[in-house]
């Protein structure tokens, strides 16, 4: 894409990689409930900094971080299982895409742009949703557990581009977290910062790290 900032419509890229939580679905309320329940059961106070950290790490590294930070004598796999159980019903029956995002992704695909989901979320939760057709919406879906790396590393975005068969320099990454934006840019992806509307997001920092930004998906004028 050269030095010019990418345009969202008409697209100036051949591949598009989307984060899930916060970026195309507002799920922060679910994870705040899960974090408060999990920490509260152990006598630990919830903090937005904890939520921000876990949004980058995903389940595996996040469980290890939680154990080390709070001195818990628990196994990471047990913590992952508890988080999944706490959130499963809410993801299955209540998670929807943000207004405008499904129409935009389908328009991209009709225009020949290949689209991937790249999420730190667990496959069990993404696959359980009744109101979001992930399989029908994306060409491929990559999870942090697939690459063994958190989103402060570019592995998940590189794997998504590999599966799409589009080089990073012809892809754009849509993210709501600063570490993800920085990791993607470090290996040649164009980036769009997306305002999540969630309290834990520091949007000014996310926006300053990306080439372009987006407040709402409905803001994109499809012609």
How far apart CA 78 and CA 16 sit, in angstroms, is: 34
Taking Cα atoms as reference points, which of 133, 126, 134, 169 lies closest to residue 15?
169
Q: How far apart are the first and last CA of the chain?
A: 21
pLDDT in tens, the chain (223 residues): 656 789 999 999 999 999 999 999 999 899 899 999 999 999 999 998 999 899 888 888 999 999 999 999 999 999 999 999 989 988 999 999 999 999 999 999 999 999 999 999 999 999 999 999 998 999 999 999 999 999 999 999 999 999 999 999 999 999 999 999 999 999 999 999 999 988 889 899 999 999 999 999 999 998 7
How far apart CA 166 and CA 77 sit, in angstroms, is: 34
How far apart CA 111 and CA 148 sit, in angstroms, is: 32
Residue 174: strand, helix, or coil: strand
Cα 94 → chain centroid: 18
8 Å CB contact between 54 and 64: no
Model pTM score:
0.90
Report the top-level CATH class of 15-26+97-219: alpha beta
Q: How many CB atoms lie within 10 A of CB 65?
A: 17
8 Å CB contact between 58 and 20: no
Report the b/e string of 182-202 with b at 16+ CB within 10 A: bbbbeebbbbbbbbbebebbe
Name residue, tokens 């970026």. 23
Domain ranges of the chain: 15-26+97-219, 28-94
């Amino acid at each position: 894409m050269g030095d010019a900032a990418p345009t969202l419509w008409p697209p100036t890229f051949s591949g598009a990689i989307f984060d899930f939580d916060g970026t195309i679905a507002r799920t922060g309320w679910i994870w705040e409930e899960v974090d408060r329940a999990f920490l509260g059961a152990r006598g630990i106070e919830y903090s937005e900094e904890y939520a921000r950290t876990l949004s980058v790490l995903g389940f595996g590294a996040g469980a290890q971080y939680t154990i080390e930070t709070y001195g818990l004598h628990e196994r990471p796999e047990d913590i992952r299982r508890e988080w999944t159980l706490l959130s499963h019903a809410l993801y299955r029956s209540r998670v929807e895409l943000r207004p405008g995002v499904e129409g935009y992704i389908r328009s991209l695909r009709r225009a020949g742009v290949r689209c991937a989901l790249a999420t730190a979320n667990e496959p069990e939760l993404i696959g359980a949703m009744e109101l979001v057709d992930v399989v029908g919406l994306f060409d491929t879906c990559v999870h942090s557990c697939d690459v063994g790396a958190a989103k402060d590393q570019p592995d998940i975005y590189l794997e998504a581009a590999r599966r799409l068969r589009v080089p990073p320099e012809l892809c754009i990454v849509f993210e709501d977290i600063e570490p993800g934006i920085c990791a993607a840019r470090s290996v040649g992806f164009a980036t769009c910062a997306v305002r999540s509307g969630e309290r834990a997001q520091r949007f000014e920092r996310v926006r300053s790290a990306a080439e372009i930004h987006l407040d709402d998906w409905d803001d994109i004028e499809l012609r």
